[in-house]
Amino acid sequence: MTEIKKHFAVIGNPIHHSLSPQIHRAFARENGLDIHYEAILSPLDQFKNTVHTLITQKLIGANVTLPFKKEAYQLATTHSSHARIAEAVNTLEFNDNEIIGHNTDGIGLVRDLEQNLNTHLKHKKILLIGAGGAAEGVIYSILEKKPSELTLTNRTIEKSNVIQNKMDVHAKSFDVNLNVIDIAKCPHQYFDVIINATSASLSDDALHMDPKIFHGGSLAYDMMYGKETSYMNQAKSKGSRVSDGLGMLVEQAAEAFFIWHHIKPHTKSVIESLRVL
Ligand code: NDP
């Protein structure tokens, strides 16, 4: 008896740029699975209907990208702990009458840092720039790795304060010093890992911060992928190691693949193949 092809999708708006179909098809090929994975452009006010249509079409699961991660959280009937804490969902699992919401962004970032870039977070001093969905989605996973300090900063500093208040209980439970600084005003400080989780690189805007923050011992990570950003160039000029967010993208997809198929795919060759495109 031939097995029925399992269907998956990534939902976003815009969606044409998404690498998720390529990544999931590559994982499936490597593991001998015959899947159908498509990119779905949802009208901005139709996310819920789009998901329900996919459920009637018997999809097994869907990835969710901008700007629907918060709506996906609202729509899910059950949440993983990472999704509950981030209040955002990037992976949906459709299971009988349940819609299970997961958030694999933080796991993806931490795996890229620790496994691909060999940068372990335990006892390190980390600066996270940005207070949007991407920043909020990764904080708990960073805290779980028990850095000595996690400092938050953002152009609109009040948003960092809101996140600090929300996450402080988790920081305390992992014994991490969670604080907020205004990077535009603060004097030079030392960080081991500096993560750009803003969307400034999309328009190649420079972040207003002292370049002295970068040094030979730091890793400057930009969640943006697909190009060398001004942020990465600035860090490189100060001797810092740099990385874009392509590895995070592939690792978060790998965790979604594991949720749906219970198989951990190899990520290295997929990252390398996308990097040469
Ligand atoms: P949001 O729109 O939710 O947040 C945007 C953030 O960027 C806010 O903190 C905003 O600050 C800040 N910002 C925007 N423009 C500037 C600027 N010119 N200078 C300083 N700060 C600025 O976006 P997301 O959090 O969802 O996404 C952020 C980035 O992360 C995107 O580039 C996205 O592609 C990337 N990403 C990558 C992933 C990966 O797998 N590699 C996964 C998820 C996201 P303010 O609050 O002041 O407006």
For residue 64, the CA-to-ligand 1 centroid distance in Å is 16
Q: Nearest CA to 137 among 108, 158, 114, 161?
A: 108
Residue 132: count other Cβ atoms within 10 Å of its Cβ: 15
Mean residue pLDDT across the chain: 95
Q: Which helix (H) or strand (E) holds 110?
A: helix 105-111
The residue contributing the CA closest to ligand 1 atom 27 is 134
pLDDT at 161: 98
Q: Nearest CA to 152 among 104, 197, 97, 122?
A: 197
Q: Nearest CA to 269 among 107, 37, 31?
A: 31
Beta strands 61-64 and 6-12 are: parallel
In a 3-state reduction of DSSP, which class is residue 235? helix
pLDDT at 205: 82
CB 150 within 8 A of CB 177: yes
Report whether pLDDT(206) > 60: yes
Pull the structure tokens for residue 228.
């060398």
Report whether pLDDT(188) > 80: no
pLDDT at 215: 95
Cα pseudo-dihedral 163, 122, 237, 201, rounded to 10? -30
Report whether pLDDT(209) > 70: yes
Closest atom of ligand 1 to 135 CA is 25
Residue among 198, 209, 252 to mutate when testing ligand 1 (max atoms within 8 A of CB): 198
pLDDT digits (tens, 9 = 90+) for 237-272: 999 999 999 999 999 999 999 999 999 999 999 999
Beta strands 78-79 and 91-95 are: unpaired
Report whether pLDDT(66) > 70: yes
The residue contributing the CA closest to ligand 1 atom 6 is 198
For residue 101, the CA-to-ligand 1 centroid distance in Å is 22
Q: How far apart are CA 277 and CA 70, in angstroms?
A: 31
Annotated active-site residue 69? The verdict is yes
CB 82 within 8 A of CB 107: yes
pLDDT at 185: 76
Kindly list the structural domains of the chain, giving each domain's residue range(s) and its CATH number in brackets, ordered by start: 6-103+248-275 (3.40.50.10860), 106-244 (3.40.50.720)
pLDDT digits (tens, 9 = 90+) for 22-63: 999 999 999 999 999 999 999 999 999 999 999 999 999 999
For residue 129, the CA-to-ligand 1 centroid distance in Å is 9
